[in-house]
Amino acid sequence: MQGFNKKILDMINKDWSNPVFNGPRSGLSRICDGLHYPMHVSGGAVGLSLYKLKTPFLKTLILIMFLFPSLVWSDPTHGKPFFPWVWEDQLKPTIKKSYDRTGVTIFASALASTFIIHQYDGKTFDFSEDGGNLWMSKKMAGDLGKIGNGLAGVALVTTQYFIDENNGIKSAMALILTSASHIAITATVRRHRPRNRSDFLPWPSSFPSGHTSSAFALAGSMAYSYGLRGAIPGYLLAGAIGVSRIKENRHWISDVVGGAFLGSFWARASFRAHELEKSAYMIIPTPIDDGMEVSVNWSL
């Protein structure tokens, strides 16, 4: 086993000639050698990518981020091994909390809504194909499709983590679980896109819409994090991204509805996972010299 591990590390640290692999190779070697957490590596990658844009404003912003300790990537695991922390402290509680009464209601509503909307897939496709504007132009739909491709979401969560670590972690969990669920569902359903357009995955992956599910996961996360200040722009943008997928005939309308429910489901679960269970009242007996004193506390 030790020989196998050494072979893997030798491969990681090998000086590959292809410069495309230099960044991932170096980052992976830092993680495997135990010198950095994955978030440190990803933070450095994001910072370097922004720096290479050669924009003075962004360079200044990055410099400010690393000058102020409150904005520097910290270790949220508090010394716990990273991957066990991700599963035991983040993903597992989120999954467990997702199937409460409200979560089941959301899931059932998703099934019912998708089934009903499915009846209009063909009509919506024909309307868009015949030039119906769906409240946006083709150029706007294309631009929104680029925004919703996932990279912008990762950048948003990374930025949120810099300035709001606690909510940033929850948003990241929502995005991770939404993406994992999207891949699992598409691999099971294997629905073809309109006109059999190309897929991003190795199998037919029309249902649910990945762009829409990620957009609504982030919109929900912003709503739970910052209330109406995050909800209004978040849901407006997420809705527009969903419509753009129909406008470009990349998805059926039921794909978009299913994706919206999927993202909303995991956004709620990720922010519910670490809520303290509140009791209506608590009775606390306390021994005293002459007997026992009983105090009753309750939360409103």
pLDDT (tens digit per residue) in 48-95: 555 555 556 555 655 555 555 444 456 777 778 888 888 998 999 999
Region of 227 on the Ramachandran plot (φ > 0 left; ψ -120 to 50 alpha; else beta): left
127-144: average pLDDT: 84
Architecture of the structural domain at 92-272: Up-down Bundle (1.20)
Q: Which residue has the higher pLDDT, 118 or 74?
A: 118
Nearest to 168, CA basis, from 186, 189, 153:
153
pLDDT band at 281 (very low <50, low <70, confident <90, very high): very low
Q: How far is 94 from 68, CA to CA, in rounded Å?
A: 31
Give 63 or 275, the one with higher predicted confidence: 275
Report the range of poorest mean pLDDT among 13-22, 74-83, 261-270: 13-22
Instruction: Report d(CA 158, CA 147) in Å as an integer.
Output: 16
Q: What is the pLDDT of residue 217?
A: 96
**pLDDT of amino acid 58:** 55
Three-state DSSP class for residue 2: helix
Listed residue (253, 115, 111) closest to 194, CA to CA: 253
Tell me, what's the pLDDT at 298?
47
Q: Provide mean pLDDT across the span 188-216.
A: 92
What was the pLDDT predicted at 77? 78
Instruction: Using the predicted structure, report yes or no on whether residue 235 has a pLDDT greater than 50.
Output: yes
The pLDDT of residue 3: 55
Q: Tell me which amino acid residue 189 is.
A: V
pTM: 0.71
pLDDT given for residue 197 in this prediction: 85
Whether the bond into 208 is cis, omega within 30 of 0: yes
Per-domain residue ranges for the chain? 2-82, 92-272
Return contacts of 113-118, CB within 8 angstroms, 24+ apart: 113/257, 113/261, 114/254, 114/257, 114/258, 114/261, 117/253, 117/254, 117/257, 118/252, 118/254
Q: What does the alpha-carbon distance between residue 177 and residue 59 come to, in Å, rounded to a whole number?
A: 32
Position with higher pLDDT, 45 vs 173: 173
Which H or E run contains 244? helix 228-247
